[in-house]
Amino acid sequence: MVTDTPILHVDMDAFYASALLRDRPELQDRPVMVGGGHRGVVLAANYPARAYGVRSAMTGTRARRLCPQVVVLQPDYDLFTAVSASVMEVFRRVTPLVEAVSLDEAFLDVRAAGRRAGGPVELGEWIRATVHDEQRIACSVGVAASISVAKLASRRAKPDGLLVVPPDEVTAFLHPLDVGELYGVGDKTRTRLHRLGLVTVGDVAHTPVATLRRDLGHHLGGHLHDLAWGVDVREVSPGRAGVFGHGGPPDRSMGAQETFGRDTDDREVVLRELLRLTAKVTARLRSAAVAGRTVAITVRFADFTTITRSRTLGEATDVTQEVYAAAVRLYDAQGLQRARIRLVGVRVEGLVPRQQVERQGVLGERDRGWADADRAVDRAARRFGSAAVRPASLLGPGAGR
């Protein structure tokens, strides 16, 4: 099959909420959010809730102020993983070239669709119908000549739609968009570009590439200029299934937990353990060349009651101090000063390749001091062993178990 728009980006609509609502028809037309209970953050919201302004990463308290009647459902990660695996199998019935970038979205290159009849539009509609019939959830599809444009097209197709951007319409599609819509541009990068007077994608496109490279760095300025003209040479790579660059199901999080030798209500003991676990997790993130945007902690009490709380950061990170600071805020927000605790854990979720974060970091002028310190520790650990360098607070009595 020869086509000038061979790339599909398929994105599940309100995936987490939709998966939970499949067997709850009485809630289909009511505003629903996933997570956000007590002081947690919203993992997802269905479209009726979004109409009130409820969004993912918002605090549950704010979401309930915006929509007092919202129904709160707890996430079921086993269900999400199972539904995602089934959806990915639908994609692989179309083409072996499937790159899963999260549980609820993937890129497909349909030039490898083989004997299955139809062009990209027909294949996209078949995917939408099959996912709806088999999994009872909706998805949106963007069809284009490149990964970045297909991603933007699927966003514009939501909810439950399909949008094709032919090569000769790419600039007309891209240039009116806010620069924050470009694939890989985060909030900090968007703010920086706006400060430079670059508000729309067209502004970036019509700025001399030499000027962009001067203001943003040689590689980054050129990269954004290419994206603004729809130039993106990346290819769909099943070998990147999962953020670690190998095949198989994608790892979406990394974590560690520890059971105390004795139940404790000592905040300093708990925080010291959180720091040790955080350092362990972030070292693994850096080794795998990934970063995550959501930090979660698990606390198990002496009676085995267990709670999990999470916080979504402004940008993905692999920096120990940034993850630890979020973990401490989550712990302190629970008011557990007198609670006897049996176990604590730290997890970083929503993993993405670190190179995406580094691009945003330079544009956003993130302070790299702690990141540089982490990498120095990593080098020392590789040369002298993992116990060679540790945070000072872990050198006290009972540390270094």
The three-class DSSP label of residue 256 is strand
Residues 200 and 350: their CA atoms lie apart, in Å, by 28
Report the C-alpha gap between 202 and 176 in whole angstroms. 6
Kindly state the tokens that stand for 7.
Answer: 């790339």
Q: Smallest Cα–Cα separation from 327: which of 375, 257, 381, 262?
A: 257
Q: Is 169 a catalytic residue?
A: no
The SS3 assignment for 1 reads coil
List the catalytic residue out of 105, 169, 273, 358.
Answer: 105
Token pair of 45 as six digits:
């919201």
Sign of the torsion formed by the C-alpha atoms of 311, 316, 55 and 193: positive
Residue 11 is assigned to a ligand binding site: yes
Six token digits for residue 253:
């999080």
CA distance 61 to 51: 17
Q: Which residue from 7, 9, 15 is spatially nearest to 138, judged by alpha carbons?
A: 15
- Is position 318 annotated in a ligand binding site? no
Task: Please write down the long-range contacts of 372-375, taking CB distance under 8 Å and 24 or more positions apart.
Answer: 374/282, 374/283, 374/286, 374/318, 374/319, 374/320, 375/286
Show binding-site residues: 11, 104
Catalytic annotation, residues? 105
Show binding-site residues for Mg(2+): 11, 104
